Amino acid sequence: RHHPGRSLLVIAFALGGQPLAAQDASPPPHGFIATRYDTHTSSNIFVGYSLGPVTPMVALVQNPRSTYRESILGLVRFTRPGQHLALTYAIAAAHVTDSDRSWYAQLYLLPTLTAGSVEVSGTLEGYVPLDSKGVGQFALNPGNVFFRLAPRWKVGAVTVLSTQSNAPYSLGAGPSLQFGVPHGSITLDVVANVTRWNTEERVSFFTSY
């Protein structure tokens, strides 16, 4: 029922495979802004600001080519389980408007693993319906593998996977390019159809402060 390619939570925050949790000894950011434009699936914007040990966030996910829309309110937490591993997770409530209106509980998990010039990251999303009109959903959106070519440039691949109850999964994959900017990144993706995914281009921007 839901349009594939909803959020990134970005928090990755993402969007584009850039984690909020830093890979060095610097403290977590006070806040973040993450946004992504998709040429076919839903575009989004996530904004958060830290208040003590947690970071409240608000987000909007919308596909202007359909009636699909999500309004999201949640809490984000950043951790560093190991020297080369960063982990961001979040819980949220979402009101979804499509062919009908439904409420969902959401769980986001964003691990990032670095080893030398290689970085592997993912945004895992789970949707649990809170009323009878909703359907359970799971997505990897996006998953990235990057190789650092220069201090500001990374090149690699992106994959997206969307599943929901009683429906076939959708899968897409393609090349990805990321350019580092102060406190963030700009990412360009081309997601080609593998199985039931509409080929699209994506532009993502992420910054922390």
Bridge partner residues of 202 (DSSP): 38, 189
Provide the whole-model pTM. 0.85
Structural contact between residues 144 and 119, judged by C-beta atoms closer than 8 angstroms: yes
With pLDDT > 90 as the criterion, what percentage of the chain qualifies? 67
Bridge partner residues of 106 (DSSP): 92, 127
Per the document, the length of the chain is 209
Q: Residues 163-200: pLDDT tens digits? A: 998 889 999 999 999 999 999 999 999 999 999 999 99
Q: What angle do CA 147, 112, 86 make, to 5 degrees?
A: 130
Give the pLDDT score at 8: 43
From the list 148, 141, 139, 80, the residue with the least C-alpha distance to 112 is: 80
Q: Residues 114-172: pLDDT tens digits? A: 999 999 999 999 999 999 888 899 999 999 999 999 999 999 999 999 999 888 999 99
